[in-house]
Amino acid sequence: MIERYAREEMKKIWDLQSKFRYYLNVEIAVAEAYAELGTFPKDDVEELKKKAKFDLKRIDEIEAEVRHDVIAFLTCVNESLGSLARYMHVGMTSSDVIDTAFALQIQDSGKIIVKDLDETIQSLKELANKHRNTVCIGRSHGIHAEVMTFGVKICSWIDILERQRANFIHALDEINVGQISGPVGTYSNIPPEVEQITCKNLGLRPARISTQIIARDYHAYFMQSLALIASVIEQFATEIRHLQRTEVLEVEEGFGKNQKGSSAMPHKKNPVLSENLCGLARVVRANSIAALENIPLWHERDISHSSAERIIFPDSLTLVDFMLSRFNGIVQNLNVHEKNMLKNTDKFGGIVFSQKVLLKLIEKGLTREEAYRIVQRNAIDAFENDGDFRVNLLNDEDVTKLLTPVEIDEIFNKEEFLKNINTIYSKILDL
């Protein structure tokens, strides 16, 4: 984890102290399961719960000697237990502890991500409601297309993010599995009932089958959901960056009173927050590829996945948490320049009304090909010569013999583009 991008709540889940705390919770839960089955004395297990502790420095000392982090952890804990240590790690393998604790870390992290998503979606809904009727230009291929509203643009973001929320919750539920099955997953030295009780008490489902580890397609699927969230945030951030360009200037990120945009050029207000999000999205996507490559392990297990997971899971969860929080802040502080939006719709005398002119001429009896030719030449002339499309139409005999000036004026009515805005909103916000 990079401190710069780590928020405190998420960071605490993935620091070393927390990792070993999760390990200890799993070990205690297993001992309690044995006690519930009558294998271990309940009083001894209760005493174990009270006495069990670990020290990071001591774990490091032991690991330097034994070269095994779980053994180092267990040795350290056992030093605090005395004779009670005989109830620790009975019939288990290291992966039982690691993978089950890992699932708990992921679940706790996932709750934070869901909260982030909910807060961001709510901010987008507020922005969409505010700009339901804020006229702006829609673009295809980066080129002016037709008139829409800024609120409709934001509605599309809400739809995307709500879909990713549903995807993420499904992935989080899929990975909500633990294992307490012993070496190569055969329960040779541990009753399957211990696994069932342990997982139930920890809020997990027992894996249907494990081969000493939980299959890594679970983890890859979860990482893909994080990559999708990061990628749609990049989609939104990229749009903001385009709209903040000087020659467009329809929106701007909030800019602090004492903020500076450039060490050399005092006039600069750069979309640095959005640019940052685009860069971080690339990291999360790259991490998801590593998760896919973790799937094909040797036989029943190896540890080639482990080194990668120590990096990609804390980093990706931390980054997505940060990205959602940052993007939420961008949305809440976004400056929307409505006058510029309106001005951009009127460029070149309203060439974006070309389809409406086309359809009107067809209605008057022209073939589509004839109408298209007439409209296109007038529109391109306005575009290439910084002219006025509406004026061009008024001066074109092929047009005026079919349409009166009043009819042409009626075509150039932005409200016609917006007549179904409420229908769109009814599907996204007004449910």
The average pLDDT across 238-265 equals 86
Give ∠ CA 134-136-138 in degrees, rounded to 5. 135
Whole-prediction pTM value?
A: 0.94
Q: Which helix (H) or strand (E) holds 336?
A: strand 335-336
The rounded percent of the chain whose pLDDT value lies above 70 is: 99
| Other Cβ atoms closer than 10 A to 413 | 12
Query: In this structure, what are the phi and psi dihedrals at residue 312, rounded to the nearest 5 degrees?
Result: -70, -35
Please report which helix (H) or strand (E) contains residue 149, including its range: strand 143-149
Please tell me which residue, 362 or 268, carries the higher pLDDT value.
362
Q: Is the pLDDT of residue 430 over 80?
A: no
Q: Is there a contact between 160 and 168 (Cβ–Cβ < 8 Å)?
A: no
DSSP-derived secondary structure for 206-220: EPS--SSS--THHHH
Structural contact between residues 59 and 120, judged by C-beta atoms closer than 8 angstroms: no
* Greater pLDDT, 34 or 347: 34
At residue 1, the pLDDT reads 67
Identify the bridge partners of residue 50 per DSSP, sorted by sequence position: none
pLDDT at position 262, please? 63
Catalytic residue among 188, 262, 307, 426: 262
Cβ 27 vs Cβ 77: under 8 Å: yes
- Mean pLDDT of all residues in 225-240: 98
CA angle centred on 325, ends 320 and 330, rounded to 5°: 120
Residue 122 scores a pLDDT above 90: yes
262 assigned to active site? yes
Query: What is the three-class DSSP state of 119?
Result: helix
Whole-number mean pLDDT of the chain?
94
Q: Which tens digit of pLDDT belongs to each residue from 64-77? A: 999 999 999 999 99
CA 181/CA 306 separation, integer angstroms: 19
Please, are residues 287 and 223 in contact by the beta-carbon 8 Å criterion?
yes
Tens digits of residue pLDDT in 141-158:
999 999 999 999 999 999
pLDDT per residue as tens digits for the range 252-307 = 998 777 777 766 777 778 899 999 999 999 999 999 999 999 999 999 988 889 99
In angstroms, rounded to a whole number, what is the distance separating the alpha carbons of residues 310 and 105?
Answer: 12
Q: Determine the residue type at 82.
A: G
Sequence-separated contacts (24+) of 61-69 with Cβ below 8 Å? 68/94
228, pLDDT greater than 80:
yes
| Domains in the chain, CATH or no CATH each | 93-254+267-342 (1.20.200.10), 347-428 (1.10.40.30)
pLDDT recorded at residue 266: 76
Amino acid at 41: P
Catalytic residue among 141, 263, 267, 299: 141
Q: What is the average pLDDT across 239-247?
A: 96
